[in-house]
Amino acid sequence: MADSASKPHNGLLSPEEKEKLQALRHSAAHLLAAAVTELYPSAKPTIGPATDEGFYYDFEFEEPISENDLPAIEALMQKIVEGWRGFERLEVGADEALAMYANNPYKQELINEFAEAGEAITLYKSGDFVDLCRGGHIDGPADNLRHFKLLSLAGAYWRGSEENIMLTRIYGTAFFSGAELEEYLQQREAAKERDHRKIGQEMDLFFIDEMVGKGLVMWLPKGQIIKDEVEKLAKEKEAASGYLRVATPHIAREELFLTSGHLPYYAESMYPAMQMDDSVYYLKAMNCPHHHRIYLHQPKSYRDLPVRLAEYGTCYRNELSGTLAGLLRVRGMTMNDAHIYCRKDQVKEEFKAVMEMTMDYFRIFGLENYWFRLSKWSPDHTDKYFDEPENWEYTQDVLRGVLEEMGVPFVEADDEAAFYGPKVDVQFKSASGREETMSTIQLDFVAKKRFNLSYIDESGEENHEVFVIHRAPLSVHERFMAFLIEHYAGKFPVWLAPVQAKVLPVSDKFNEYAIQVAEMLRGQGVRVELDDRSERLSAKIRDAQQEKVPYMLVVGGQEEAAGTVAVRSRDSGEQETVGAEEFADRVVKEVVERKA
């Protein structure tokens, strides 16, 4: 493999490049397990997958290890890999595999599951190390397996369940070249300062309370301000684009989710059923079934379509506690959700409009490093997909045509569509270097049959060719907020900043004038705070800078006499004196224009 296999093209990895990088990282996980079991013979290895950022392997150790032990493990990995000559696949029977792992209950559990499912039980050998594995490694000699780094330790429950034993997870990463590894490590160090959990705590934006529950975010006043501003933007954009706002309950009867197909297939990701006196109810994990029922509330003519229903709807998903990660993965989430019901001949126009709206949002927020992924069906796996080949080909051609027409960067991924239609994922390289799926635009031609969606066509006949576009360009509040916090490193533009200006009197003598300035600004709609502590001015300025306030307004005798404020900008560090009302007009203008 060439070094370019893992080199992103403007952040864009093709599916083939991504697969090669995943294979490299999965191979590095084997190498990690080989070193750990040699250094700690009593350690029990469990699973070690590749991830978007690297790899990890979970172990049960007799005695705890610390991050101080990672250099020794890494050094042994470098030594072991010298003798590796690729990966040899071995297929064995269940009894033989169970005997090999007689002292490892985790591997035995996996072996028994494979056997019950009728899967082949395969081992992969490299050097003297053998591991239970389905495959997915680099081909040939392990010459490329040189550029890796062990990063950290964490606790992780076996299979993500608190009911199971706590294991030790060792994280690492690997690349095809030393330059890429070094770039990643530098980016990672910078990312620590941008971590949304760190900044969120420093700026009092949100917290997660153990008494309330894991994965359930408590928004503090300043965080709620940012959320409200984002939602206000979305409502304005959607109103201008002909969306109709609706609101739906947080729960629904079992029958709704049986009709949608989420039960029983999605049941593990939903909260358990609630038996009520009239029926069985579930917390909703998605908004679409409710929206389908709203569409059906009144008959539709072909003239009524498209119908665009929008809602910031709160959903709940039963994520395993071990997978929760700040705002990035939560159990309660509020989505920037909408569903567009359109005729077949309207699909292209509506899909393009969603793309344009999505990219307009990114322009407003100053986001640039993104691309798109078109996920398609496979005619070779018809068991996985709704059986309408004509609609599959038509809709995929339409989506591809829009992407090409708009000239945006995109890749195609075969056999990755949802069972009910092709989709376009919006991929981002975050400020911390992670590749993430920000949101998805999903085409759906199955809902029409499950919910009997229809309209009356030009001939007066009932037509069931209703296509549904599911879209959430701003993802969920929680995930998008994490992204914004890290993107801006907490230095939000004025229109988003929880506190837009802070009035700093140079001494207590000028508190009265400072109060007048603050009240005037507040009356103009500016989010302002007054720092009237008996502290030195330098301390007040330092604290405001740490709070990342865009503007600091210093007021003293000269300012009071002239009705002005001395404005210090967070971004430029320069100071200028302007009229207090002139400053208010400036801030209001920045908010209206939503300058990034």
- Predicted confidence (pLDDT) at residue 194 exceeds the cutoff of 60: yes
- How large is the average pLDDT for residues 46-59? 94
- How large is the average pLDDT for residues 451-480? 95
Q: For every residue of 448-490, which 3-state class applies, written as one string?
A: HHHCCCCEECCCCCEECCCEEEEECCCCEHHHHHHHHHHHHCC
**Strand order of the sheet with strand 44-45?**
44-45, 55-60, 166-175, 147-157
**Is there a common fold for 3-188 and 501-593?**
no
* pLDDT score of 316: 97
* pLDDT score of 140: 67
* pLDDT score of 48: 94
* pLDDT score of 10: 42
- Using CA atoms, how far residue 114 sits from 23, 44, 266, 374, in Å, is 22, 19, 22, 32
Superfamily of domain 501-593 in the CATH hierarchy: Anticodon-binding domain (3.40.50.800)
* pLDDT score of 432: 66
Instruction: Provide the H-helix boundaries in 335-426.
Output: 347-365, 389-406
To the nearest 10 degrees (0 to 180), the angle between helices 15-39 and 70-81 is 110
pTM of the model: 0.81
* pLDDT score of 6: 36
pLDDT in tens, 145-163: 889 999 999 999 999 887 8
* pLDDT score of 8: 38
In CATH, what is the architecture of 202-248+287-372+429-488?
Answer: 2-Layer Sandwich (3.30)
Average pLDDT value over all residues in the chain: 92
- Degrees to nearest 5, angle at CA 11 with 230 and 150: 100
* pLDDT score of 141: 64
- How large is the average pLDDT for residues 495-524? 96
- How large is the average pLDDT for residues 208-216? 95
- Predicted confidence (pLDDT) at residue 260 exceeds the cutoff of 70: yes
Instruction: Characterise 165 by phi-psi region: left (phi > 0), alpha (psi -120 to 50), beta (else).
Output: beta
* pLDDT score of 13: 63
- Predicted confidence (pLDDT) at residue 435 exceeds the cutoff of 80: no
- Predicted confidence (pLDDT) at residue 1 exceeds the cutoff of 70: no
| Residue 272: cis peptide before it, omega within 30 degrees of 0 | no
pLDDT in tens, 480-494: 999 999 999 999 999
In CATH, what is the architecture of 3-188?
Answer: 2-Layer Sandwich (3.30)
- How large is the average pLDDT for residues 574-594? 94
- Predicted confidence (pLDDT) at residue 428 exceeds the cutoff of 80: yes
- How large is the average pLDDT for residues 514-528? 97
pLDDT in tens, 261-309: 899 888 889 999 999 999 999 999 999 999 999 999 999 999 999 999 9
SS3 47: coil
Burial (CB < 10 A; 0-12, 13-18, 19+), residue 574, is: exposed
pLDDT in tens, 217-233: 999 999 999 999 999 99
Q: How far apart are CA 567 and CA 581, in angstroms?
A: 12
pLDDT in tens, 319-377: 988 788 899 999 999 999 999 999 999 999 999 999 999 999 999 999 888 999 999 98
The domain spans of the chain are: 3-188, 202-248+287-372+429-488, 501-593
* pLDDT score of 320: 85
- Predicted confidence (pLDDT) at residue 244 exceeds the cutoff of 60: yes
